[in-house]
Every structure is written in structure tokens, then in C-alpha cells.
Amino acid sequence: MGAETRTSAAAPGPHAQSESGQSQAPLGLAKRTSNLFRDRTEGAKRRLDLSDFTHVNGVDTEAGTVDVEGLTTYEALVDATLPHGVMPAVVPQLKTITVGGAVAGVGIEATSFRHGLVHDTVTSIDVLLPDGDIVTCAPDNDYRDLFYGFPNSYGTLGYALRLVMRTIPVKPFVRVTHDRYSSPRAFFDAVASACDGDVDFVDGVVFDGNTMVLSTGRFTASAEAASDYTYEQIYYRSLLAKPRDVLTAKGYIWRWDTDWFWCSRNLGAQHPLLRRLYGRSRLNSRTYTGLMRWNSRWGLTRRLARWRGLHPESVIQDVDLPIEEAPAFLDFLLREIGVLPIWICPIRVPASQPSFTLYPVRPGRLYVNFGFWDVVYSRQALPAGHYNRLIELEVMRRGGIKSLYSDSYFSREEFDGAYNMAAYEALKRRYDPNGRMLGVYEKCVGKG
């Protein structure tokens, strides 16, 4: 990529597909898959087909970077980088997440304690703007405001066509240690200590208020054998059964995908007989996402719950809290929400790096991501989003921030303050002056 370009998108590649002849409808991305988990009430949109942008253009091991197109899945990107002895510095947990989606949203994994979020590993982005122009934005050119404003914009400022991202060296295997704790304070102290050590990976799981497991991993060149969690064995259960473990590098990267962390249990995939009926090829996030969207469309779970006299609310959230607030926030989750297990993943943006506009975590400060995904049932009818709203209020009260890939219920004023909407409006005026794309509040809270 050049240091600074602005070109036209009239060349073959992206093209719009109008729905219902709505030539003035907002732009949207035509995708067969999505890792957004919020019900949407979409009107007509002009769908932009970027399905050709799925190539890994080159791996530069000397520079420690990979040049990749925006609709490339992380499954394809990992397959392209591992033969070169490297991997993307941060690889989100699910194979179907796209590179552009992880940057326009927020991507995280067990290397985030050292490398930050996915967007912290990007060095430049080619962005297709709403007016059809393409700009290359970087930290040091005329489009630096878009470079720092693009993450967490969710396709409301443009689409990433091509990115350069940092990679890290890998070895063939990862040795993992699972340490169990019974005290939240001791657990989070251990998380902080691990982040200051020499390990390559840090994450953990809260199984209940008295059972927490911190997992740390180190690359290693050799191993006598490696565990396989792609079929009969279930990774998250191994955290309680195996104090020590070894996986291949690729097996470690995708350790959570086979069972969608633990959410496959809701689809029967952890029952041994049903697991064999699924078969190895269908035990993955791609299958589960399809089944979930089918259920969301037809409302089978909701109907069964109502038949049992229950009122369900989907609580699918990832939130980031300063680590000093983590024990109190965990106590809130256990007391008020009750969703278990909870994934724990520390994040620390390098202190020398400027903050990104729409996801303003403080560089150099250690945060903890809480990931919890399930349905909460109540005997009485509650206001829409009752439990999700409790979570939002607690996150804001404790100086945290939440990802926007799932249901949100912020007021406009709360949202403006939490996500720096004054700066966002300046970006919209410069890069989408005609309002061809929805605003981020309208899309993420208004479910557009």
C-alpha cells in the first residue's frame, strides 16, 4: 500500500445490489455469514457485494506483517500464515470472523494482554468510502483520523478492502497450564501477574463463584503428543481435568471454535451420541451460527419457553473492565445475571500507542474482558432488555466499555459519552457527508 492514496472504486469488484428499488436506501454489506448477535429490524438497503475481497496478498516475515483483503476469514488467514512460521498477532476465537469485521468491530484473544485488540495490530487500511472512493489510511498520513476512527464504527464510515497487519512468530506446539482458584481476588491477581510475565497466551474461565481457572500458554518447538479438541474431546472441560496440556499451534488457535466456547451444549452437540451424528466437519461455529439464526428467525426457543411459563432474554455480551474493578463486576454478574461459564481475557494496549477514537481504552492500562453468552429466564415479564440494561449500567458505573456486536439499550446521551460521538460526527461529516450509511447509534442500538 502507498502511504497516502485516494482513488475511485469504479473498477471491477465492489458493486451495489439494490433491494426493492430503493436507490436512496442506506448502504449495507452483502454477506452470507455474520458474527453480529443482535436482532435487526432492517429496512431496505443497497447491498454492496465485496465477496471478491478474500485474498491473502502476501506474508512478509522480515517486516512481521501480512497483507490481506477485508472479507478474508481468519480461518483462511491462519492457514496462509502458519506455513511461514507466523500468525496474526491477535486471532479472534471463531473461524468465520472476517479480518475487516474484526477491525470495524472489536476482536480479542489470549494474546491481547500484550498486543491489544485486533485493530491495535493494524498498520494501514484501504477503506471503501460511502461515496465510492478508496483511501489508504495510516497513523501518519492525511487520513489518520479515519485510521483511528474506523475501529468500532461497524460499517458506518466505509468498508475495509485491504489491510496490513502485524504477525508474531509461532512454534509448532503450545504448552498450556491451567491453574485453579477459589477466590475472585486471588484469581484476578494471578491474571495481572501472568500479564507481566513471559508467557505467550493468557485467558481463563469462571465456572462458578468458587471455581476459576487461569490458563497460560507458551510456544514450544516439540512435544511427544498433542490433545485434539476438534471432535470427541471438549476443550473447556479439559481446564478442570488437566492441569497441564499440549496442543498444536493451530489446535490452540481454534480451541474454542469446535464448541463455540461452551455454547454448543444449547444445541445438543456435547451429548456423545449427538456429537457423533454432527460429525467432525459440523462441529464448529459456522454450523452453530446457522442454527442460531434459524432459531432466531422461527422463534422455537421463545415458544418453548412461553409454553413452560418462562420469559427468555438473550444475554450475549463482551465487556471490558479495568482489572481493579473485575472482582466487583464478577460479583455483580453472579448475583444479578447468573450466566455461567464466563470467559476471561485480559487486554492491554501498548502504552506508546494512541487511543482509538470509538473504543477509548486507556493505553498501558490492564483491562479484563468478560464474555458471557446465554439466555436468562424469568417467571415474570420484564421490560425488553432488562438484564442487558443492568449490565450496561454496571459497566458504565465501573469505567468499562462494552462491545457493540450484540443487543444494546443505551440512551443517546449515554452512548454519546461512552463512545466519543462528538469525534464520530466529525468523521461522518468528512467521510459520509451525504449520509449514505447509517450512523453507529442507529445501527448498533437502533438495530438498523
Distance CA 430, CA 427 (A): 5
Q: Where are the beta strands (DSSP E) in 159-258?
A: 159-169, 173-181, 201-208, 211-220, 244-248
**Which pLDDT score, from 0 to 100, does residue 244 have?**
98
**Number of domains within the chain:** 2
**Residue 205 is assigned to a structural domain of this protein:** yes
- Do 135 and 201 belong to one domain? no
Distance CA 341, CA 238 (A): 14
* Beta bridge partners of residue 346, listed in sequence order: 368
**Residue 3 is assigned to a structural domain of this protein:** no
**Residue 240 is assigned to a structural domain of this protein:** yes
- Do 202 and 127 belong to one domain? no
Distance CA 3, CA 222 (A): 41
- Do 162 and 256 belong to one domain? no
**Residue 12 is assigned to a structural domain of this protein:** no
Distance CA 36, CA 296 (A): 13
Angstrom CA distances, 1 to 7, 71, 136, 145, stand at 12, 17, 7, 18
Residue 361 class from Cβ within 10 Å (0-12 exposed, 13-18 middle, 19+ buried)?
Answer: buried
Closest CA to 440 of 210, 108, 143, 104: 104
* Beta bridge partners of residue 37, listed in sequence order: 406
Quote the pTM value.
Answer: 0.92
Distance CA 252, CA 99 (A): 19
Domain boundary, last residue among 123, 146, 170: 170
- Do 193 and 130 belong to one domain? no
**Residue 184 is assigned to a structural domain of this protein:** yes
- Do 203 and 146 belong to one domain? no
Angstrom CA distances, 11 to 15, 66, 69, 134, 338, stand at 10, 24, 16, 11, 52
- Do 141 and 202 belong to one domain? no
Domain boundary, last residue among 170, 193, 220: 170
Q: What is the pLDDT of residues 246-290, one digit of tens each?
A: 999 999 999 999 999 999 999 999 999 999 999 999 999 999 988
- Do 219 and 76 belong to one domain? no
**Residue 81 is assigned to a structural domain of this protein:** yes
**Residue 79 is assigned to a structural domain of this protein:** yes
Say how far residue 62 (Cα) sits from the centre of its chain.
28
Q: Say if residues 315 and 390 touch (Cβ distance below 8 Å).
A: no
**Cα dihedral: 348, 168, 128, 428 (round 10):** 10
Distance CA 9, CA 250 (A): 36
- Do 244 and 357 belong to one domain? yes
Q: Say if residues 100 and 163 touch (Cβ distance below 8 Å).
A: yes
Domain boundary, last residue among 140, 170, 200: 170
CATH classification at residue 149: 3.30.465.10
**Which pLDDT score, from 0 to 100, does residue 275 have?**
96
**Residue 419 is assigned to a structural domain of this protein:** no
CATH classification at residue 335: 3.40.462
Sheet holding 244-248, edge to edge: 244-248, 173-181, 211-220, 201-208, 342-348, 366-378, 311-322, 401-402
Residues with Cβ within 8 Å of 269's Cβ and at least 6 positions away in sequence, in order, are 259, 275, 278, 283, 288
How many degrees, rounded to 5, is the angle at CA 72 between CA 67 and CA 76?
90
For residue 116, give its domain range. 27-170
- Do 214 and 202 belong to one domain? yes
- Do 145 and 200 belong to one domain? no
Rounded to the nearest 10 degrees, what angle do helices 285-298 and 300-307 cross at?
A: 60
Count of residues in the chain? 448
DSSP for 15-70, written as a single string? EEEESTT-TTSPEEE--S----BS-------EEEE-TT---EEEEETTTTEEEEET
Q: Say if residues 82 and 250 touch (Cβ distance below 8 Å).
A: yes
Distance CA 149, CA 40 (A): 24
Q: Spell out, as residue ranges, where the chain has pLDDT lower than 50.
A: 1-13, 16-22
Q: Say if residues 171 and 73 touch (Cβ distance below 8 Å).
A: no
- Do 154 and 177 belong to one domain? no
- Do 165 and 178 belong to one domain? no
Give the pairing type, strands 56-60 and 65-69. antiparallel
